Structure 1
Amino acid sequence: MTVRTMLLAAACAAFATLATADPRAWRGEWPKTDFSKTTVQDWSEILSGGPPKDGIPALDDPGFIPVARETRIGAREPVITVEIKGARPRAYPIRYLTWHEIVNDTVGGVPIAVTFCPLCNSGITFDRRSRHGVLSFGVSGKLRNSDMVMYDRQTESWWQQAMGEAIVGRLTGTTLNTLPTWMESWAQYKARNPDGLVMAEPAWNRDYGRNPYRNYDTSKRPFLYSGEMPPHGVPPLMRVVRVGDQAWPLSRFENRAEITEAGVTLSWTEGQASALDAGTINQGREVGSIRVRNAAGRDLAHDVMFAFAFHAFWPQGRWMMGR
């Protein structure tokens, strides 16, 4: 699917959704969701992304194989790296997350959800433990500001992936803890973790390794997004490194590999392909890999997302423009 095809296909769905942006139209599919509890001010912000509830199937308790046995993943393909004390490092390839978006897993006794929203380039790992118990997540098929809306299977509350916050339903206002994981290339992960694990190919009929969003991150406008564009002339689909409510545009790394500001150090390393560029992920243009550490050298939770999404969810956020 090209971006043009995707936009045309979604236009009709978006029109229909706007005409029926009312929870009463969703109750047939979501009978367990308490729509009386929400932080959403305007229901028309929530659109159908095309697939229905679970039309994009989240994965549960995936299998893993040793790094040395993996032969299908290209060297430049991105993976989300999870390193939790007491467990062997694990890589969750974007070639799988592109088609499934959520992986519910347990690593070192910690229940986690590894998530990736292709339309925002947002790859975040959450701790699934909450004051309401351990949650598991699925893909709702809905978008808000072009970002995936997840749902928990326990209460069917809706969650904004970019923020890790419940926005509709009984758990509204609950926020998940974000773990310090990062996106890097398969080659970079292998070099650091020769004894590590990598998620095995899921048993689904999907064209893993293909990018169904070809040329998306060089588009002029985001998919199904009508909000404000970023300030400071930052292109809406430029990647930014978000740490809390601060964002560093990746353009700042054009002439440097490391930036230390606001108590954090951001490091850029060549070698990672964009997952949203060429038709084959491994052939995508260079975007590099980012690590974020604090003053003590410990990894920090962060996200490398598109600028428009940062501005949409953190409108009062701080833009680290280096001026």
Structure 2
Amino acid sequence: MERNHQINPAIALACLIYLVSVNLTHAQIDTWTSEGWSTDFSKTSIDLSEIISGGPPRDGIPSIDNPTFSAADEITDIDGREPVIEFPIEGESRAYPLRVLIWHEIVNDTIDDIPVAVTYCPLCNAAIVFDRRLDAETLAFGTSGKLRHSDLIMYDRTTQSWWQQFSGDAIVGELTGSALKKLPSRIVSFEKFKQAHPKGQVLVPNDPNFRPYGNNPYQSYDTAERPFLFRGELPADIAAMAHVVVVDTGAEPIIVSLERVRQSGYEHDGYVVTYQDGVASALDSSSIQQGRDIGTVMVTKDGADVVHDLTFAFVAHVFYPDVMIVQ
């Protein structure tokens, strides 16, 4: 009796896809090694094929490592509606204008003896502040030139491990599995910051002519139909570029659309999300000060500020695919 030695087509296809994936990953690692990375690529928590080039090389978007500040009431070239990251929330805060961060993405700073990384990913509109301390070591971060899910991949200059900006997790390299602590911050208008902290320190460029500060190189990005350099699945029931609030609860996050908060606010399990108008989008007009008003939010629980991010729906969906976006 003859035996049927035909291979199941589904199994054959799966094997082929696996082999192609392995070859692509090896090719990626060879490319990254040739770029001068000493990262330990044998350690990773993700599929390396999800990482793509964002265009600029490592440090092509230069972090700010020696930040310079001026008092808010001495600054005349920032429009009152322009968005700034206010941090820390308590005490005498500092402001980090998105007109600067859109060109640098990372500021390595120290406040009250706490080393922090103030970060902004324009493609995700994600503004997040991290404690740079990990165990007994203080890390300094730069831009890798790589993206995952359209989000900035940072690297630390000690081990050259790669870190996902949106989550603060080390995803490739020696420190894979480590996570940075997020610190409460918020986006506010420059005018509101100046009113509350007239002598508050505001980040200014070390060289005002280094970039066209105040201009937005991502004109009309936040009204586009789909994100840039994104390969993942888009949300089915909300526009990919709709603004949403992601609230860090320490467990499963709360995700609610900005439009819902704008219309009626939002409360859940003691978390209170409120809307404030008067803040321009950094990703709308070619000039940030002319960006349409998208407003901002405040998130508290028991009166204390809570870590949150005002980002895009596609970002929330790809990083938290099983969490419903409240609309």
Q: Same fold (TM over 0.5)?
A: yes
CA-to-aligned-CA distance 1:196-227 (integer Å, 9 cap, x gap)? 11112231510000000000001001001121
- Do 1:211 and 1:279's aligned partners in 2 also have CA atoms closer than 8 Å? yes
- 1:95 corresponds to 2:99: yes
Residue 305 (structure 1) aligned with residue 311 (structure 2): yes
Q: Are 1:127 and 2:131 counterparts?
A: yes
Q: Could you report, residue by residue, the CA deviation over 1:157-196 in whole angstroms, capped at 9, with x for unpaired residues?
A: 0000000000000000100000000111101111111231
**SS of 1:24's equivalent?**
helix
Match among 279, 284, 289 for residue 291 of structure 2: 284
* Aligned match of 1:209: 214
Q: How far apart are the structure 1 equivalents of 2:261 and 2:287?
A: 25
Alignment of 1:218 with 2:223, yes or no, is yes
* Number of the residue aligned with 1:24: 30
Q: Which amino acid aligns with 1:266?
A: V
Larger Rg: 2
**Aligned to 2:272, which of 262, 265, 288?**
265
8 Å Cα contact 1:102/1:139 also seen in 2? yes
In structure 2, the residue matched to 1:6 is none
Q: How does 1:145-224 map to 2 (within 5 A)?
A: 145-203=149-207, 205-224=210-229
Q: Deviations over 1:266-305 (max 9, x none)?
A: 11111000000001001001110211000x2100111111
In the alignment, residue 174 of structure 1 is paired with which amino acid? S
SS at match of 2:260: helix
Query: Partners in 2 of 1:61 and 1:240 — Cα distance?
Result: 32
Match in the other structure for 1:252: 260
TM-score with structure 2 setting the length? 0.88
Mark the CA change 1:19 to 1:301 in structure 2 (over 3 Å): closer, same or farther.
Answer: closer
Specify every segment of 5 or more residues in structure 1 that has no aligned partner in the other structure, as ranges: 1-17
The Cα of 1:307 is off from its aligned counterpart by: 0.7
Alignment match, 1:8: none
- Secondary structure of 1:27's match? helix
Q: Are the counterparts in 1 of residues 88 and 94 from structure 2 also a CA contact under 8 Å?
A: yes
CA contact 1:272–1:287 (8 Å) conserved in 2 = yes
Equivalent-residue separation in structure 2 for 1:111 and 1:287 (angstroms): 31
TM-score by length of 1: 0.89
Distance verdict in 2 for CA 1:184–1:24, change over 3 Å: same
State the distance in 2 between where 1:60 and 1:97 align: 12
Matched position secondary structure for 2:30 = helix
1:59 alignment partner, SS class: coil
Q: Secondary structure at the match of 1:282?
A: helix
1:51 aligns with 56
Write the distance in 2 (CA, Å) between the matches of 1:250 and 1:31: 39
In the alignment, structure 2 segments of 5+ residues that lack a partner are: 1-23
Q: Is the 8 A contact 1:30 1:156 kept in 2?
A: no
Q: Is 1:229 matched with 2:234?
A: yes
**C-alpha offsets along residues 25-74 of structure 1, whole Å, 9 cap, x if unaligned?**
11122432000000112x22111111000000000130111111111111
